[in-house]
Structure 1
Amino acid sequence: MFKKKAEVLTSRPLSGKDVKALKRRVEVSFPDLFPDDIDLLFPAKSEVQLIKMKNRATAYTCNGPSPLFFDPEGRGDLLVPTCYAMWRFPRILDKLYTYSEVSPKVLGGADLFLQGLITPEGGLGHFSAEDLRAVSIPQNAYPFAVGTMEVSSDDVAKTGLKGKGLKLLHHYPDQLWAMGDKSVPNAGFTPVRIFPQDSASNGSAAPAQADVAGLSLSDDSSAQATDGHANADRAAAASTAAAAAPSAAKNEAEEPNSEQASIAAAAAPLSQDELIEVCLLEGLHAVTDGELPMLTSDFYAKHMLPAKPEGASMDIKKSSYKKLSKLLSTFEKKGLLTIKVIHKQDKLASVNREHKLYLGHTSAPAPAGATSAPSASAAAARADAAPSSSGRITVSFSYRVPSSLRPVFGPSAEQDRDALYSEAQVQQALLDYREQQHLAAPGGCIKLDRLLIGGLFNKKEEQKEGDVHPLDDTLKRLLSKLQVYHTISRPTPTGVSETLARGNVKNIVISMEDRMGGRKHLTHLSHVEGFGLDPDELAAVLQKKWSTSCSVNKLPGKTETGKMLDLQGNLLKELPKFLTEEYGIDPQYIDVKTKG
C-alpha cells in the first residue's frame, strides 16, 4: 500500500477531545494493550498530528515524525498499528510466523501466502477474514509487517494451507516507515531480509527466542517483557546502519570488508599475498572440471573465500595484486590456469592439474590457533563415497544494475547492461568508485557525491554532497537497489546444469494433510522445477521408491504456473531426506509443513 512515496496532503494537530477519542479507539481496537500502554504511546499534553495522504490513508504521530497508527482508507472504520507501534508493544496484535527466507518477498510488498506460514504446535489460532495480524519470524520477536486475513481459520481447516493468507497493508521498510525516524529494533532488520535476532546487537538483553524446533510460538511473554520505555528507547537508539546482519544462507559467500581491521593479523604467519595465493590453490583443488567454465567472481566467492582459514582476513586490494583479474592473469602466465572472455564476462576455463604448483599444494596452512575451513564443494569433491551420482545442488546470487547506478560499475556496465555481478564484485565496484572519485574517508567511510545520494537515499533523508557515511551501510543500500537473481547449479553426467532466475530462491514445499478422520494421509510436494527437476519424471521415481500412487497436478491459484505432486501416505520425514541425499538439495531450501 505504501510502495510509492507517501505524499502528504495535509497535517494538523488534534484537539484534546480528539486525542481522547483516538485513545478510546485504540483501547477498543487493541484489547491486549493496557491503559498505561496507551498513555505511553500518547502521553499527557503531547502533540498528536493527523496526517492525510494522497492515497486516502490517514496516519497519527505523537511528539515526532514516526507514525504510530494509520487508517488505510481514511474512513475511520479500521485502525492499524505501524511498525513503530508494534516494536514498542509486540503483543499489540496476534502474530503469524513465516521463514526468514520468505521475508524478502514480504519486504518487497508481496501478500503472504498460507504456504509460507509456519504452523505452531497449537495451530494458527482462531481468526476471521479481515482480522488484523502481524508478521514475524520465530527467531526475532519484533513484527516486520501487518495486514488483514483473506480467509478464516475455518476456511484453512477445510482447504488447508493453500492460497493467499494475508493481504499486506504496511511493512518495513515501506514509505510509511520512511516517514518516521527510520529506526529498527535490532540488527536482524535489513532492507532485503529479516534475520534472526542477535542478542549482542544492542546493550539490552534480547527477548527470548521462540522454540524453533518445536514451533512453540504462541508464548509472547518474552516480547512483552521488552514493552514500554525500554523497548521505546531501544527502537529510538537503533539505526539503519546497524542492519549489517550476516547472511543465513549457507551457500552465500561474502567478501570481507576491506576497511575492517584484520581480526588475526598479528597471529597469521602469512602475508596477504601468500594467503591469497594459498586460497587460490585451495580453490583450484576444490573446483571440478565439470563446473568449468565458471565466472571468475563465482570462483572467488565459492572456492577461494571458503578456503580462507578461520580468523584470518583476506583482502585482494591490500595485496600487491590489487584486483582479482591481475591475480588470475599472473597465474595464467605461469600456465596454472586459463581465463576466457565469454559473453563479455571473464570465466575460469581450465585448470592445469599437472602443473608443479598444483601438484605441490596439499592444504592451506592455518594461522596459529585457527582451524582450516574448506569449502563445501571441496569436501564434496574429496568425499570417499558421494550419496548421489547427481552431486550437490548449489545456489549462488547475483545482481543486475539499474541505469541510474551503472556509473558506479564503470564502462563495462554501460557496454553490457544485462551483466550480472556477484556480491563480491558489487563491493569491489564500490571500492573502486570510491578510489576513482576520491571519496575515501577515514574510519571505513565514504564521502557521498550526487550520484550516491540520488541513487541510495530517499528525499526525506537529508544527505548533502561531501557528507561522510559508513561504507558497510552504503554497500547494504547499494545491494538493496539492485535486482536480485539466483543461479541453481546441478551437476549432471554431462556437466553442470545451471538455471538462472530472477528474484530469490523459491523453496521446495512439503506438506501433509489428514483424510478420512486421520486414517489416511496425503503428502504434497511443490516447487521442484526451480531446482531443475521435472515433476513428471520425479513422480515416477517417488512412486517406485515407496510403492505408492503419485499424481501430478497444477498448483492452485491463478498466478501459479508450477505443478504439485500428491503422494499417498505420510512422507514428511522420508521425502526431505530423500531429496537431500539423492538430489543434493540443501535442507535449508526445503520447507516442511503439517496440515490438520
Structure 2
Amino acid sequence: MFAKPFRVKSNTVMKGSDRRKLRADIATAFPSLSAEQLSQLLPSKEELNVVKIYAHKGDSMTLYVLQKNPLFFELDKRLYPTVYLLWRCPDVLPAFATWPPVLQKLIGGADLMLPGVVVPSSGLPEVTQGGCCSVILVNNRAPVAVGTAAASTAEMYSLGMKGRGVYVLHSYMDHLWASGDKSGPPSFPECEGSVLAGEDEESDDQDEEVEEECAQEEQEEHLCEKATDEVCAGVEELNLTEREEEKEEQGNEEEEEDQKSPQEMMDALLLQCFLHALKSKIKKSELPLLTSTFLRNHMFSCCPNGKQLDIKKSSYKKLSKFLQAMQQQHHLVRVKELTKGVESIVEVDWKNRELRSFIVPEEANAEASPVEQEDDAHPYQPPEITTLYTIPARLEPLFLDANKRKGAVLQPADVRSLITEYVRKNELVNEKNQNYVTINPTLCDCLLEKSEYQEVACLKWDELFSRTQSKMQECYQVVFPGQASVVKKGHIEPIDISVASRGSNKKVTLIKNLEVYGLDPAVVAVALQRRVQASSVLQPVPGAKDRVLVQIQGNQIQQVGNLLLDRYQIPRKYIQGLDKAQKSGKKK
C-alpha cells in the first residue's frame, strides 16, 4: 500500500468534537486499549492533524498524525494502526512471527506467506479472515508490519501452512513510516513459548543437556539479531549527538510555533520569503521590478518545502499592504506606481540592518522545489505521438501481396505506398488519365458501398487513399524519451481544460488527462499556483483509479494554455478547451 510515494491532498488540524469521535472509534476498533492508553495516545492538549492522501494506485485514505508521526490510517472506513503506535502498544493486535530476512520482502511490498510464519509452541494467534493483525520478528515483539489475515487460524492449519498468510498494508521503512520521524523499532523482550512447533521439547534433568540447549538458543538469538541489523542497515540515521541536537532545535521551533496563531505564522513566513528573495534573488540591475513578478518569480520560490505561501491568510490580506508595511515600518524597499494601477519596486536598501542580518536557510541551497527539480535535474520532454492504422478483415485482400495480415499496424506513409504498389502491380492505372485508378473486384469489395457497385468505375488517387484510411482502424503510438514505444487503440485523449462553478458561483479551472502525456499533476499544480497566485488542489477523476485532475481557482484557461504550449511544448492539437479562454480587451 505504501511501498511507493503517496500524494497529500490536504492537512488540517482536528477539531475537538472530531477528536472525541475518533477516540470512540479507536476504542471500538481496538477494545484491548485501556482508557489510560487512549489518553496517552491522543492527549487533549497535543495538536492532532488529519491528512487526506492518495496512494500510488489512487486509493483515497486518511492519516491521523500526532507530533509528525502517523498513528492510524483509515481505509474503506476502517482504522488500522501504524508501526509508530504499535511500538507504544505492541499487544494491540494479534501478531504473527517471522524470520528477520523476510522483513526485506515485506518492505518491498510483498505479503507474508504461511511458510515464512514461525509457529510458536502455544500455536498461532486466533484470527478471522480479514481481521487486522501485525507481523513481528522472532527475536523482538516490536511489530514491523500491519495487515489483514488472508485466512482464519483454523484454515491456515488446514492448508498445511501453505499459501498467503497476511495481506501487508503498511510496514517499517515504507513511505508511510518515512513520513514520520523515521525512528527504528524498539527492543521488546521475546514472548515465552516461542519454540517452533514440531521441534523436540524433551525435558531432561541432566544439567549438561539444559546448558547445551541454552547455548543453542543464545546462538540463534545472536544470529537473528545480526540478520535484523543487516536488514535495517538500509536506513541512514543521524548519530546520537546530531539527533539529540536536531530534536532540541525542532522542539524549540515547535514550542514557538504553537504559541503563534496561524495568521502570525503566515506573517512570519511572508517576511522570511520577502527577505530571502531580496537577499539572494534580486539584483540591482533588475529594478524597477513589478510587484506581481517579484511575488510570482521570487517570493514563491523562496517558500520552504512543506509550507505554502498564502497572503490571504496573513494579517495583510493583499500584497500591496504588505509591501507598504515593508516600506514604512522596515524601510527595506521603495514602491512606486510607475503605470496607473501597476506598482513596481524601484529601490532596495541593501544596507538595511534587518536585511544584512538575515541568514538564508540551508535547505534553500540544498533542496530545490519540485518545479525546480523538474526543470533542472529532469527537464520535461513531450512524447512523440504518431497516428497509425490497423488492417481490418475487410481490407486484408489489399495487403496480402505485402504479407500484411489482419491486425497489422501501419503508418500513413506505409498505407499509401502499399496501395500504390497494389495498383501498379495489378495495372489498374487508367490509360487515358493517370490521375484515376480503375476499380477491380477486390477494390470494389473493400472500398465501395453496395449502392456504388454499378456507378463507380474509377477513383482519383487521393480519394482512393482517403477511402482506404477511413475503412481502417485508427490507433496511435506514444514514445517518451528513453522509453519503449507504446501502441494503443483509438484516438489519444487530449488534455482537457474546462471551467466549472463551485459554491457562491465561484469559477474554478479543471485540467484532466495530464498523465497521458507524462506530466505529473502535482508538479503542474505547483507551477500554476506560482504563475497565477491562486490555490490549487488535486482531485480523483471519477471512474479512473490512476488519474487525478488539477483544480485551480478562477478562470485560468489562458495561463494553463501558455504553460502547456510554451513550457511543456505540448502541440496545440492535443489541448482541448483553449477556445474558452477569456478574451482580453476593454468591454464596450
Q: Where on the TM-score scale, by shorter chain, does this alignment land: which range?
A: 0.3 to 0.5
**More helix per residue:** 2
TM-score when normalising by structure 2: 0.33
Larger Rg: 2
* Structure possessing the higher relative contact order (Cα contacts under 8 Å, 6 or more residues apart): 1
Under a length normalisation based on structure 1, what TM-score does the superposition of the two structures give? 0.33
